Chains A and B, each alone.
Chain A
């Protein structure tokens, strides 16, 4: 592993040390003053539980509210709403009722008139020690069920992709609220000082339906927004195009001298020092980001394990590379990685929105998701990274037990769907909550997504009621006023 400290100027290194940073500033800067520098003015009143953030090191690791089992998170976000009925929530009753109308069922659902009930479109069989029924659609992920804690009884507040993806990612259906990853990095910073603390990896086929709002900082400082990067598109502006190395270094050193002179003349404000430090951090990122994206150092058996070498299926190979990138980011101490599977609205062609030809489209999507995602979890496990990494598999809502009229696909269903957790702090082999016999509505241990998010925060040592940020007069939280733990998922 390379060390980049030597690339820092002496003043830069000093700035990275908080105590020196303080003593170098001509006036006394208390920790309250320091917090201003990131734009957190007035937000950390004495009774507040907001983190104390060192402006020179916005991504420095910070203490959680209580010791958490998980340090890092990988979220596998399946955009478009994966059908629970074709994956994890086995409903044999549906086979009996196949192609029969649902008595008393809704005449019209999200997209239009409802058709007849439809059997699961894949065969199911039991797996592992727990005997969990999982479909043949996802044979690789199915092998991992002994390590997984499923929640089958989640509900969403919206049956529309955009608001529902917002709800999953930010806890609010409206645009403009901070995403889970922003909350987590705001609270905990990052173990890595050379990479962004929060990385969002879009699907190779495109960004999810609600795009950047899924990794946006909302009203949190911009430091905590997700940085997008993928195996195809690395971080922007890492180098200056068309500028020679000499000219680049000359500009950099000239800038350093300018800022040093200016700081000398204006010693009283930490904002200036923080900005100088940000250039030092950027310089380190310029070296470490290309390195993390260079998959040529991965051995052939790893590429094969993920399916990154699958020449027949370029989308799968590209997603597999994103999965490898996710593992490498976690290895380097990046706090939060959001890995997207599925792109934008496309009649189900590019994501899991199977309205019309569900089976046909899911064959394709599962082929992209299954092996790479399963390999990621296995790989994290075999490297010991799963000890302190939480893996979340989620989707914005589920699908109806009946087909849409005149189609071979299922409509949106926010009333009962499945997401799961595995890894650090998660109780293995659990299936919690239940939908009715047709898989239409959650009927036992019903959990709005708030509870799922609250549980994720808890695993990181964060109290969902204390992690808050004041915005326009309201102490905002990821879980609004609705959070609750799902203790059944905890080890």
Chain B
């Protein structure tokens, strides 16, 4: 049998070979069967290895990922297909497993290609799916079939009814207000607001939530500045905002925070979402400079970290452009455009050319800081400068006094000065930007010293403190390794301030101005440096006392620099403060800046084969995704116009994705899961919406309202769907049945309660304990002992007013989880986080139960309770429940807690409450 089949094939192939000259190869008769026999398994409908398929004409002639077309009509010899099926190289040959193509088969293919590779249209057995045919790519239709009366509830109920389910009964008013408060502000409601609301809802012995009360509640929370702080966090998760540069050195990105503040303000102002998009892409043209922080939120290699070789530089640039394209694609369009960096998107209608065309809109965007020119920042700058000036005037009367050598009010030059030594730029010891070391302080000399000719024993200069009391005197001078400076400058305290009288003078120190203050041997650099501080002992000063700089016996030059007087301890801290103060002042003088991108002449963008910068192909012009529009910009389009064109296209009501993606994010913020479960992927690979009509209606409503995000919140929280029972409703048969049918609560037969996020948890603990500092905006507070850098980060564990602000104001160190709350799935700002997972781990339990944070906050809460309720134990316990859980304690809870509180104190109860499930979950 086998042999007869074999010989049949042989005869057939011989015949085909012999007949070749007469009859051309026919694709359907001769070629397709070869593909189907050997190739289709890996290059067909199910699998497309290397992105190549041979069952559809258009795809087959296009070729795979790794090189150009595999079939070059008329040129079999040059066609990779022929090479691959006929090669003897084990690593290359196709098919890699199973029987090879016979000589006759190879011959057929060769002749078919040489004859022009004719592949008639319409003969393919499978039709290539049109990637553009996808629900989210279609215009948002106003004509969807709508339930009457039109409301969220009607859409939800219709779907529930289809599945034989019903909504749960309404949640009680306490659960409702708690839910709305957490969702809109990220903080629990105050007991006073709760009782007012509950009273409004009282209806005899039961409760009815009236439309007007609910409206007022929603309006109150939406008008609170806490709202913007809450919702900005959701946005910052998606755009992976952080205050450090990431990668190996992870240094501070000191001016990223204005973008964070911009986002908070935008949500609080209910900036129309279409405008919000435009501001983030091209805010520099709209008076919102800080908004373009969006473009450059990603990790970025600093110039020092990029290799000096050209390929390294090209790759780094490509990576940084890629991050911008990813951010725009995922955030606004819900598309993984970045997938097309190396090859056409496997699932969505995004070609590699589309990807590079998108890059071309940003071809002039560089990572870096740019001055902020808007009015808001100008005001901030003025206020802070005024505050600093105020602090500075105070500095003169404080415990530590700095007298600079150029402070004309408090120094006297007794001889004509020759000039100044300027400390060179750099961080080395004594350099201008010296940040201090283990045994020396940062450079506080303002970067220069004064110098005179050295005349032995001649009084040259005096510092005139003008203060009374006992002070430790710290000397400093200019160091230079040239050998010119005197090696024995003398410092003399003149008590009565009259230099002519000498019996009141005491020599309090001398200085080798060749060297640093605490160095006694070795060489010195031949450059003007600052000495650091030399202790000249504790001295009794009178108002008129002066400190004289007197010429040494050696050297031709003598120098003076800042003198510091210290009353008591704390020099190091004061020096650090001073140094920070000076730095900040210099920054402010420069004007506010934001890490919001620098805009330069656009570079040429080329399509890169396999995403490899070393394999550039044709140049690509800025153009929107080809499946969605036809907008292409000419090469001459200036930088800002490019971004503007893209922003206008994204923020257009005609864009089918923009509104849908955002209303879905808003929905997710209220229900934990979006109507589309994959909020940053609305493509073929993403999940389909559970309620497509509802999503479209919401999107249309969003645009109709003028893209008002707050309008969408109102619609949602006013709905009965949002206000149904949560965890508590599960004992009935109906609930059990529903849980079996729809365990994930996709259809919303009850409210899906969920754990608080990291920030909400921390903020709520502070709020409940009465310690939350509601100060808004500005430079982030420290979670660690350093704001960026290479080595391990040690947590700040002492509570201060600064770090009792809301966690969104923390200086966000990329990848470094906050020591207690980081474990609660806090995003690390590496990649975009469109959904926060809510995992449950023993590390979370350890952190929340044992951390200093919890213990300190528990103590503070206990102190608050004692202050508010006095010594009555029952009142205290009840108040714990009212504040933390917005309800009274039950009799059983009182009797549980009472003996514990009596024996161990109130803080123990507070610590337990902060760890309780009821506290941790949105009801």
Distance in angstroms between the alpha carbons of A41 and B672 in the assembled complex:
11
Q: A39-B839, A237-B850, A286-B846 are contacts. A26–B731 as well, Cβ < 8 Å? A: yes
Chain A residues with Cβ under 8 A from B537's Cβ? none
Contact residue among A37, A161, A174, A472 (Cβ-Cβ distance under 8 Å from B299): A174
Contact residue among B330, B744, B846, B920 (Cβ-Cβ distance under 8 Å from A41): B744
Contact between chains at B831 and A106 (CB < 8 Å): no
Distance in angstroms between the alpha carbons of A33 and B846 in the assembled complex:
26
Nearest B-chain residue to A253, judged by Cβ: B900
Contact between chains at A213 and B792 (CB < 8 Å): no
Stretch at the interface among A94-102, A217-225, A425-433: A217-225
Q: How far is the CB of B318 from chain A (nearest CB, A)?
A: 11
Contact between chains at B744 and A32 (CB < 8 Å): yes
Contact residue among B743, B791, B830, B920 (Cβ-Cβ distance under 8 Å from A218): B830
Contact residue among A27, A38, A206, A262 (Cβ-Cβ distance under 8 Å from B840): A38
Chain A residues with Cβ under 8 A from B893's Cβ? 258, 261
Distance in angstroms between the alpha carbons of A58 and B307 in the assembled complex:
42
A255 on the interface (CB 8 Å rule)? Answer: yes
Distance in angstroms between the alpha carbons of A346 and B790 in the assembled complex:
9
Chain B residues with Cβ under 8 A from A222's Cβ? 823-825, 837, 839, 841, 843-844
Contact residue among B850, B909, B917 (Cβ-Cβ distance under 8 Å from A240): B850
Q: Which 9 A-B pairs have the closest CB atoms?
A: A176-B830, A268-B730, A473-B681, A39-B837, A162-B248, A176-B831, A175-B830, A162-B247, A33-B743
Chain B residues with Cβ under 8 A from A28's Cβ? 736, 739-740, 743
Q: Which among A39, A196, A259 has the highest number of chain B CB atoms within 10 Å?
A: A39
Chain A residues with Cβ under 8 A from B904's Cβ? 246-247, 250-251
B916 on the interface (CB 8 Å rule)? Answer: yes
Chain B residues with Cβ under 8 A from A144's Cβ? none
Q: Which among B309, B846, B897 has the highest number of chain A CB atoms within 10 Å?
A: B846
A154 on the interface (CB 8 Å rule)? Answer: no
Chain A residues with Cβ under 8 A from B705's Cβ? none
Distance in angstroms between the alpha carbons of A37 and B752 in the assembled complex:
12
Q: A219-B831, A237-B846, A275-B917 are contacts. A29–B339 as well, Cβ < 8 Å? A: no
5 A-B residue pairings within 8 Å (CB atoms): A210-B247, A222-B823, A237-B849, A261-B893, A344-B248
Contact between chains at B678 and A271 (CB < 8 Å): no
Binary A-proximity of B386-415 (CB < 8 A = 1, otherwise 0): 000000000000000000000000000000
Distance in angstroms between the alpha carbons of A103 and B730 in the assembled complex:
78
Q: Which among A112, A237, A471 has the highest number of chain B CB atoms within 10 Å?
A: A237
B645 on the interface (CB 8 Å rule)? Answer: no
Distance in angstroms between the alpha carbons of A416 and B729 in the assembled complex:
62
Distance in angstroms between the alpha carbons of A28 and B739 in the assembled complex:
7
Stretch at the interface among B255-263, B428-436, B814-822: B814-822
Chain A residues with Cβ under 8 A from B920's Cβ? 275
Give chain B interface residues in 439-480, CB to chain A under 8 Å.
Answer: none
Chain B residues with Cβ under 8 A from A235's Cβ? 843, 846
Nearest A-chain residue to B242, judged by Cβ: A175
Chain A residues with Cβ under 8 A from B728's Cβ? 265-266, 268
Distance in angstroms between the alpha carbons of A163 and B816 in the assembled complex:
16
Contact between chains at B847 and A237 (CB < 8 Å): yes
Binary A-proximity of B676-705 (CB < 8 A = 1, otherwise 0): 011011010111000000000000000000
Contact between chains at B849 and A279 (CB < 8 Å): yes
Q: How far is the CB of B325 from chain A (nearest CB, A)?
A: 13
Contact between chains at B842 and A221 (CB < 8 Å): no
Contact residue among B681, B744, B844, B892 (Cβ-Cβ distance under 8 Å from A261): B892
Distance in angstroms between the alpha carbons of A235 and B841 in the assembled complex:
14
A406 on the interface (CB 8 Å rule)? Answer: no
Contact between chains at A36 and B829 (CB < 8 Å): no
Contact between chains at A267 and B900 (CB < 8 Å): no
Q: A160-B306, A175-B830, A247-B904 are contacts. A267–B847 as well, Cβ < 8 Å? A: no
B828 on the interface (CB 8 Å rule)? Answer: yes
Binary A-proximity of B837-867 (CB < 8 A = 1, otherwise 0): 1111111111101111011000000000000
Q: A216-B815, A272-B917 are contacts. A174–B319 as well, Cβ < 8 Å? A: yes
Contact residue among B681, B753, B791 (Cβ-Cβ distance under 8 Å from A472): B681
B911 on the interface (CB 8 Å rule)? Answer: yes
Chain B residues with Cβ under 8 A from A159's Cβ? 307, 309, 312
B101 on the interface (CB 8 Å rule)? Answer: no
B652 on the interface (CB 8 Å rule)? Answer: no
Q: Which among B739, B834, B841, B892 has the highest number of chain A CB atoms within 10 Å?
A: B841
Contact between chains at B250 and A211 (CB < 8 Å): yes
Distance in angstroms between the alpha carbons of A23 and B250 in the assembled complex:
49
Contact residue among A42, A108, A161, A255 (Cβ-Cβ distance under 8 Å from B248): A161
Contact between chains at B843 and A257 (CB < 8 Å): no
Contact between chains at A258 and B730 (CB < 8 Å): no
Give chain A interface residues in 138-176, CB to chain B under 8 Å.
Answer: 158-163, 165-166, 173-176
Distance in angstroms between the alpha carbons of A263 and B918 in the assembled complex:
9
Contact between chains at A278 and B841 (CB < 8 Å): yes
Q: Which residues of B contact A (CB under 8 A)?
A: 240, 246-250, 299, 301, 305-310, 312, 315-316, 319, 323, 330, 335-336, 339, 673, 677-678, 680-681, 683, 685-687, 727-731, 735-736, 739-740, 743-744, 750, 753-755, 790-792, 814-817, 819-820, 823-825, 828-834, 836-847, 849-852, 854-855, 890, 892-893, 896-897, 900, 903-905, 908-909, 911-913, 915-918, 920-921
Contact between chains at B792 and A36 (CB < 8 Å): no
Q: A37-B840, A41-B673 are contacts. A110–B309 as well, Cβ < 8 Å? A: yes
Chain B residues with Cβ under 8 A from A267's Cβ? 730-731
Contact between chains at B814 and A209 (CB < 8 Å): no
Chain B residues with Cβ under 8 A from A407's Cβ? none
Binary B-proximity of A188-209 (CB < 8 A = 1, otherwise 0): 0000000010000010001101
Q: How far is the CB of B674 from chain A (nearest CB, A)?
A: 10
Q: How far is the CB of A351 from chain B (nearest CB, A)?
A: 10
Distance in angstroms between the alpha carbons of A92 and B127 in the assembled complex:
60
Distance in angstroms between the alpha carbons of A159 and B309 in the assembled complex:
10
Q: How far is the CB of B692 from chain A (nearest CB, A)?
A: 17
Contact between chains at B833 and A219 (CB < 8 Å): yes
Chain A residues with Cβ under 8 A from B248's Cβ? 160-163, 165, 209-210, 344-345
Chain B residues with Cβ under 8 A from A443's Cβ? none
A87 on the interface (CB 8 Å rule)? Answer: no
Chain A residues with Cβ under 8 A from B339's Cβ? 474
Give chain A interface residues in 264-285, CB to chain B under 8 Å.
Answer: 265-269, 271-272, 274-279, 281-282, 284-285
Nearest A-chain residue to B905, judged by Cβ: A247
A254 on the interface (CB 8 Å rule)? Answer: yes
A40 on the interface (CB 8 Å rule)? Answer: yes
Contact between chains at A278 and B844 (CB < 8 Å): yes
A5 on the interface (CB 8 Å rule)? Answer: no
Chain B residues with Cβ under 8 A from A299's Cβ? none
Contact between chains at B301 and A162 (CB < 8 Å): yes
A376 on the interface (CB 8 Å rule)? Answer: no
A241 on the interface (CB 8 Å rule)? Answer: yes
A242 on the interface (CB 8 Å rule)? Answer: yes
Q: A33-B744, A206-B792 are contacts. A108–B900 as well, Cβ < 8 Å? A: no
Q: A39-B837, A237-B820 are contacts. A26–B917 as well, Cβ < 8 Å? A: no
Chain B residues with Cβ under 8 A from A111's Cβ? 307-308
Nearest A-chain residue to B914, judged by Cβ: A255
Distance in angstroms between the alpha carbons of A453 and B185 in the assembled complex:
44
Distance in angstroms between the alpha carbons of A285 and B846 in the assembled complex:
9
Distance in angstroms between the alpha carbons of A329 and B846 in the assembled complex:
20
Contact between chains at A473 and B744 (CB < 8 Å): no
Q: How far is the CB of A199 from chain B (nearest CB, A)?
A: 12
Contact between chains at A472 and B841 (CB < 8 Å): no
Chain B residues with Cβ under 8 A from A216's Cβ? 815, 828, 830
A364 on the interface (CB 8 Å rule)? Answer: no
Distance in angstroms between the alpha carbons of A165 and B833 in the assembled complex:
22
Contact residue among A40, A175, A236, A281 (Cβ-Cβ distance under 8 Å from B247): A175
Contact between chains at B903 and A250 (CB < 8 Å): yes
Chain B residues with Cβ under 8 A from A109's Cβ? 307-309
Distance in angstroms between the alpha carbons of A225 and B823 in the assembled complex:
9
Nearest B-chain residue to A45, judged by Cβ: B687
Q: How far is the CB of B847 from chain A (nearest CB, A)?
A: 5
